[in-house]
Structure 1
Amino acid sequence: MTILITGATGRLGRLVIDSLLARGAEPRSIVAGARDASKAADLAARGIRVVPFDYDDAAVVKSALEDIDTVLLISSSEVGKRAAQHQVVIDAAAVAGVQKFVYTSAPKATTTDLVLAPEHKATEEAIAAAGLPAVILRNNWYTENYAPDLARAAETGVVAASAGDGRVASASRADYADAAAAVLLADGHIGEVYELGGDVAWDFEDLAAAMAEVTGRPVEYVALSSDDHAAALAGAGLDAGTAGFVTALDAGIRGGALADTDGTLSRLIGRPTTPLAEGLRSLV
């Protein structure tokens, strides 16, 4: 088996490689796709083959997929360009005859109104249209997404959001990486769409309490309206587009888009998911 990890030098990609090795994969069976190969020198030192990989260059992607039978497509970080970039990988995988194609998607990607979902929906549809033998991993929120909020809470004693009493079934990035590694290495899973989330769906009062536990100071959750939240973000220097994106995400949380959890993630990784406070503590 040869496993290509796209975005291998990113935070999730590196953790997937760590998990593959911990689960017994041979380094020579792993191929790390990296836009900047110089950032993957540590991976090469571990016996992992590093190949150039640029979502925007079809010829480079095609070359990277030669002799590859399993692919993990980690979604691009370039919001607005993802669908087109992913299509390049999907097309190359179809030509290469990839036997297992795993994609990191978004929760309920094909039905949710979450603001970041449309590009994931388009990618899932493209994978299906290409006829790839695929596994879809719909990753809920990463606890690490709240690192900036944790830093502000440590300074101000406040976590502010317009998420109302919405809940988030977050898990650590390492939890999702373990799930990807488990699916990549195991037989089966083809055709499955896994909704992955933490074992516990917390609200922002819970988040404030966890931040207080981690920082050692009282932390209050300040619930804002979307308009007040956007104004506060603008006052902090964010442009209107970014502020609108953040408040739209919180509106999705308020509406329950990230609240579902059924234990699928913990079953895949064979252990409980990382508790909220523990995940936050790792960021300090």
Structure 2
Amino acid sequence: MHVVFGANGRAGGETARALIERGEAVRVVLRRKEQGETWTALGAEVAVAHMEDADAMADALNGASAAFLVNPPPVSGDPYARTEELGAALADAARRARLPKAVVLSSIGAQHASGTGVIATLNRFEALLDGVAPTTTFLRSGYFVETWGEVAETVMSESVLPSFLEPSQKIPMVSTIDVGRAAATLLCEEWTGKRVVELAGPEDWSAGDVAAAFAEVLGRPVVPVPVPPERRAALLAEAGVPAEVASALLGMYEAIANGLFMHQDGYEHRRGTISLATAIERIVATLEPAGH
């Protein structure tokens, strides 16, 4: 039985679907029972647990052969304090359930304990979960291509791609489809001990490449428009992002600009197969009116 946390999120959902497609037994862990109807229809078991509740998470992990563990993206409060709380509770639950194997979602750049904004929470998350299972992989993912979905409506209506990334800087990016497939593969592989696997797409991409992919999908030019650093905090505030979360996110983009979001030597590197155009096409398809 593979237990998947974060199944209603991007990476967790793709991991659960990839496991189901492989014919594996899957139990998804959700915050509310009513979120489980889709997963029940797909043949998965559903467990309900808040990630602050170590007892409920231990129950959800009971009998698991392996589990996919995540630190949910911050939405409010202090992201670093929340990581301490959730990471400690999840580690306690995994140990109590005697979890034999874990794949922990992390990020490229998580080798740095500071100076990387929100990515630094994953450095701490890795430390908190180190050793919770005899067999543990830290899956350090590239920048999710699907994150660009947050500005896709602007792209489609105005033919410009607002970006906090410098348009020509290529960085490791990856579709969450590939993240899910890689996580499912790691959960099913036979191995022992601890390892770190870095995952990126077929090649590294820039914001300019993303704009070109939108242009290809939409059939018209799309221009990448970098947002000046002095404007970014105000934009996030306008979007309703709380100040502490915004600060952590802006720290990540500063780290990317400073070259800290890079592969680390000495670890296993894997690449997915989903092209940038394929991932962008899926984003656009979710926003276009039915029958368009």
Of 199, 203, 208, the residue aligned with 1:205 is 208
Report the Cα distance in structure 1 between the residues aligned to 2:234 and 2:172, rounded to whole angstroms: 27
**1:170: which partner in 2?**
173
**Counterpart amino acid of residue 167 in structure 1:** K
State the shift of 1:136 in Å: 0.5
Match of 1:274 in 2: 274
Percent identity reads 25
Aligned to 2:66: 70
For normalisation by structure 1, the TM-score amounts to 0.85
Residue 100 of structure 1 aligns with which residue?
101
| Counterpart code for 2:270 | L
Q: For 1:150, what is the secondary structure of its paired residue?
A: helix
Equivalent position of 2:199 in the other structure: 196
**Gap regions ≥5 residues in structure 2:** 285-292
In the alignment, residue 188 of structure 2 is paired with which amino acid? L
CA distance in 1, matches of 2:189, 2:223: 44
CA displacement, residues 4-60 of structure 1 (integer Å, 9 cap, x when unaligned): 1112233332321221122232xxx32221111221123223432211121111221
Q: What is the 5 A alignment of 1:1-284?
A: 2-25=1-24, 29-78=25-74, 80=79, 81-111=82-112, 113-128=115-130, 130=132, 132-164=134-166, 165-188=168-191, 190-231=193-234, 241=244, 244-260=247-263, 264-266=269-271, 272-284=272-284
In 2: Cα distance, 1:232 partner to 1:30 partner: 39
Which letter does structure 2 place at the counterpart of 1:9?
N
1:258 CA drift (Å)? 3.5
The alpha-carbon deviation at position 237 of structure 1 amounts to 6.7
Between the aligned partners of 1:243 and 1:123, the Cα distance in structure 2 is 19
Following TM superposition, by how much is the alpha carbon of 1:257 offset from its aligned partner in structure 2, in angstroms? Answer: 3.4
**Which deviates more from structure 2 when the two are superposed, residues 255-264 or residues 58-67?**
255-264
Distance 1:163 1:52 in 2: 38
Q: Distance in 1 between matches of 2:134 and 2:60?
A: 17
- Taking the aligned partners of 2:236 and 2:74, their CA distance within structure 1 comes to 21
Indicate how the Cα distance of structure 1 residues 45 and 253 shifts in structure 2: closer, same or farther if over 3 A, else same. same
2:288 matched to which residue of 1?
Answer: none
- 1:166-213 CA-to-partner distances (Å, cap 9, x unmatched) read 222211111000000001111116411011111211222222222222
CA distance in 2, matches of 1:239, 1:126: 25
Give yes or no for contact 1:167–1:259 (8 Å, CA) kept in 2.
Answer: no
Task: Tell whether the 8 Å contact from 2:134 to 2:192 is kept in structure 1 after alignment.
Answer: no
Taking structure 1 as reference, are residues 275 and 93 closer, same or farther at Cα in structure 2, changes over 3 Å only?
same
Query: Structure 1 residues 247, 160: CA separation in 2 closer, same or farther (over 3 Å shift)?
Result: farther
Is the CA contact 1:6–1:53 (under 8 Å) kept in the aligned structure 2?
no
Task: Compute the TM-score of the two structures, normalised by the length of structure 2.
Answer: 0.83
Paired residue for 1:269? Answer: none
In structure 1, list runs of 5 or more residues that go unmatched. Answer: 267-271
- The Cα RMSD (Å) is 2.6
Does structure 2 retain, via aligned residues, the 8 Å contact 1:201–1:260? no
Distance 1:108 1:236 in 2: 26
Question: Per-residue displacement from partner, 1:207-229 (whole Å, max 9, x unpaired)?
Answer: 22222222222222223431144
Structure 2 CA distance for partners of 1:204 and 1:259, relative to 1, 3 Å: farther
C-alpha separation in 2, matches of 1:131 and 1:42:
29
Name the one with the larger strand percent. 2
Report how many residues are paired: 275
